[in-house]
Amino acid sequence: MRNIILSTESGADLPKDLVEKYNLQVVPMHIIMDEKDYLDGTLPVKDIYDYYDRTKKIPSTTATNIHEYQEFFTSIKEQYPDSTIVHIGYTSQASSSFQNAVIAAEEFEDLHLIDALNVTGGLAAVVLYAADCLEKEPDIEPATLIEKIEAVVPKSKLAFIPGSLEFLKAGGRVSNMASLIGALLKIKPCIELKDGKLISTKKYRGKMSGATEKLFSDYLKEFDIDREQLYLIYSIGLDEGIKQRMDEVAKENGFQNVRWIQAGGMISTHSGPGGFGVAGLEKYT
């Protein structure tokens, strides 16, 4: 029986303890700031915010390139010679990273790519679902695991409120950003992944504390999320009182396990400080 190794990009924002627990392989994306190229995960997120405060510009971000994927997959194969790699990638609709992985994968056998059509906690939910499946059934056939993962991809739902609309505007990653420009200081948009694209779907007014609860309420009304596991996402700067309250709200709504995920460099570059999000999997059979 071949050993299955799961891999993904740094844009999944996977907590380090879970990366170690499940032996997940993570390839870094890139953040470019002050004309220097930093590997995502090596640069403190606070440095990104400091850079914006200093320059009123956000850093640029770039995908993992083809050569880096070739080296990444080669390294896994060298470490686990008989392994089958299942790579669960950052949405192809917001980055060229997945397409670069597709090109790099042509040189390898026993390497399977799945476009998660999601980012941060939404991508993490898919990766950790796969890791849980593998832990519960270590002898699972690769084809069976891949089928399970592909079935759950459309079940992963992510919604978030960026902490800074100026970051969101500067990042230019939201498809319908133009509709928000006139009211940048008056609203808090809800950003969701729709078919892998970042779309502004709702607008909340008022303080962040009220907006987070409204977002969560709307999220649960729209999606029949499995109560076994929930991921709450925050970017540095989110008020601790809001985090405590959202923990309470999640438990009040029957969630058995709640895991907080800190937005890393890729996401923080486009959403700014003090953001909040929620991710989970819709119920499936």
Q: Where are the domains of the chain?
A: 4-30+62-152, 156-281
Q: Considering the chain, what is the average pLDDT of its residues?
A: 92
- What pLDDT score was predicted for residue 179? 45
pLDDT per position as a tens digit, 240-260: 999 999 999 999 999 999 999
Domain 4-30+62-152 grouped into CATH 3.40.50.150: no
What kind of fold does domain 156-281 have according to CATH?
Answer: Hypothetical Protein Tm841; Chain: A;domain 3 (3.30.1180)
Mean pLDDT across 272-282: 96
Q: Which two tokens stand for residue 46?
A: 């606070």
Mean pLDDT across 82-92: 97
Q: What is the DSSP string of 194-215?
A: ETTEEEEEEEE-S-HHHHHHHH
Domains 4-30+62-152 and 156-281 alike in fold: no
- What pLDDT score was predicted for residue 58? 86
Element (H, E) at 245: helix 240-252
pLDDT per position as a tens digit, 176-200: 454 454 445 567 888 898 999 988 8
- Helix/strand/coil percent split, the chain, to 5: 45, 25, 30
d(CA 4, CA 2): 6
Tell whether pTM > 0.85. yes
